[in-house]
């Protein structure tokens, strides 16, 4: 008999941006299979998810991977349910309509490594600012790349956990980085982004470095914000063979701009200004290879006979990938 640590992870009910929560459950001889994980509960009155007089919320395991940072341990992503077993209002995963996993998502997660002592990104001097952005993107060397030891450890850990990470890179601003995760199935893509975020936060604890997910932590200064670009496809797009189909899908997004922006992350008006590789939050546009558009059509799509995927560049770094995917799926399905 061996004891196993199960780290149950969920999203709280804080608004406008939910946070990760977790606690450890000890079980005997866990098989490693999702179906063998028990439901659990927590105090929802401490997470903005229930009143004190009726505080129990349920944790339903939906995704499990090895925990590379602990002995005999697993990471368990959970949905939050009400006491009667119905999805909690904070449960974005339950709103995704992709039971057949026809939708594929690749999320490009940007973030800043943040020094709590200076309240600035790594690489920013305490009394001012580093040189203008430009040399930091995909950079190497102590003058341009800050926090690589954290980023490399995170990459090793998420690979060892079994997440489908497709790459990392230093981003445009000093102290800004990105990782990319892909999954066939919208729910699984969201699960993996949240587990990867959790592991990055936990690694940061060891180094005394915070992770800043805000889309524009440096305000109106001339520095890029952080996004979570959503690359997506379904059978229709992957086999389209037609520019008209891609135009029709893109045009389906035009009348529901507000509905998308509502779930694309708080304070996105600070980031979507029409500058720094963004389209204005007030506009909607799409174009081939256009990083200043709301939706970019990758250049290989026309090169491959108009079949492939699209990139919605509007979701920001703090957005919930579950809610982003749910809204994109609803819009694409409206095309028929």
Can you list the domains of the chain with their CATH numbers? 3-91 (3.10.20.70), 104-333 (3.30.590.10)
Give tens-digit pLDDT for 118-140.
999 999 998 889 999 889 999 99
For residue 50, pLDDT beyond 80: yes
pLDDT tens column, 305-318: 999 999 999 999 99
- Residue recorded with tokens 């997004």: 253
- Count the neighbouring beta carbons within 10 Å of the beta carbon of residue 274: 12
Average pLDDT over residues 237-251: 98
Q: Phi/psi of residue 249, each to 5°?
A: -65, -45
Can you say how many angstroms the Cα of residue 91 is from the centroid of all Cα atoms in its chain? 15
- Quick check: 89 pLDDT over 70? yes
Distance CA 246, CA 229 (A): 18
Q: What is the CA radius of gyration of the chain?
A: 20
What does the mean pLDDT of the chain come to?
96
Cis peptide leading into 16, omega within 30 of 0? yes
Read off the pLDDT of residues 245-266 as tens digits, 9 standing for 90 and up. 999 999 999 999 999 999 999 9
What does the block give as tokens for 238?
A: 């992957």
First to last CA, the chain: 53
Q: How far apart are CA 317 and CA 190, in angstroms?
A: 13
Which stretches does DSSP call E strand in 159-307? 165-170, 176-184, 210-212, 228-233, 286-288, 295-297
Query: Do residues 265 and 319 touch, judged by C-beta distance below 8 A?
Result: yes
- Give residue 275's pLDDT band: very low, low, confident or very high (50, 70, 90): confident
pTM, two decimals, is: 0.96
**267: pLDDT confidence band, cut at 50, 70 and 90?**
very high
Please enumerate in sequence order all residues whose Cβ is within 8 A of that of 254, keeping only pairs 6 or more positions apart, or say none.
Answer: 284
For 87-110, the three-class secondary structure string (H helix, E strand, C coil) is ECCCCCHHHCCCCCCCCEEEEEEE
CA nearest neighbour of 322 among 191, 231, 178: 191
CA–CA gap between residue 43 and residue 116 (Å, rounded): 29
Neighbours of 290 (CB within 10 A): 16
Using left for φ > 0, alpha for ψ between -120 and 50, and beta otherwise, residue 316 falls in beta
Name residue, tokens 């709280």.
12
Render 135-193 in DSSP notation, one character per residue: TTTT--STTT---HHHHHHHHHHHHHHT--EEEEEE-SSTTEEEEEEEEESHHHHHHHH
User: Other CB atoms closer than 10 Å to residue 336's CB: what's the count?
Assistant: 7
């Amino acid at each position: 008999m061996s004891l196993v640590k199960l780290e149950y992870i969920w999203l709280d009910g804080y608004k406008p941006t939910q946070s990760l929560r977790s606690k450890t459950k000890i079980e005997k001889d866990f098989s490693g299979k999702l179906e063998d994980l028990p439901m659990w509960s927590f105090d929802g009155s401490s997470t903005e998810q229930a009143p004190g007089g009726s505080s129990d919320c349920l944790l339903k395991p939906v995704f499990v991977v090895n925990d590379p940072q602990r002995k005999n341990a697993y990471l368990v992503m959970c949905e939050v349910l009400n006491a009667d077993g119905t999805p909690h209002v904070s449960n974005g995963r339950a709103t995704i309509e992709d039971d057949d996993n026809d939708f594929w998502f690749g999320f490009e997660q940007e973030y800043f490594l943040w020094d709590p002592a200076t309240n600035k990104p790594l690489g920013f001097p305490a009394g001012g600012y580093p040189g203008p952005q430009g040399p930091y993107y995909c950079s190497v060397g102590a003058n341009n790349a800050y926090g690589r030891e954290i980023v490399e450890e995170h990459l090793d850990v998420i690979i060892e956990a079994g997440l489908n990470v497709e790459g990392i890179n230093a981003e445009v601003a000093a102290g800004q980085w990105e990782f990319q995760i892909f999954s066939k199935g919208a729910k699984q893509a969201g699960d993996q982004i949240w587990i990867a975020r959790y592991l990055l936060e936990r690694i940061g604890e060891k180094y005394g470095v915070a992770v800043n997910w805000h889309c524009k932590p440096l305000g109106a200064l001339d520095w890029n914000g952080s996004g979570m670009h959503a690359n997506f496809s379904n059978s229709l797009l992957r086999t389209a063979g037609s520019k008209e189909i891609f135009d029709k899908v893109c045009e389906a997004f035009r009348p529901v701009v507000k509905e998308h922006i509502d779930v694309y992350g708080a304070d996105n008006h600070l980031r979507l200004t029409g500058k720094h590789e963004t389209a204005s939050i007030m506009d909607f546009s799409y174009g081939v290879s256009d990083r200043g558009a709301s939706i970019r059509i990758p250049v290989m799509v026309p090169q491959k006979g108009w079949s492939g995927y699209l990139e919605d560049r509007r979701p920001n770094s703090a957005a919930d990938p579950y809610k982003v995917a749910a809204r994109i799926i609803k819009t694409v399905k409206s095309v028929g």
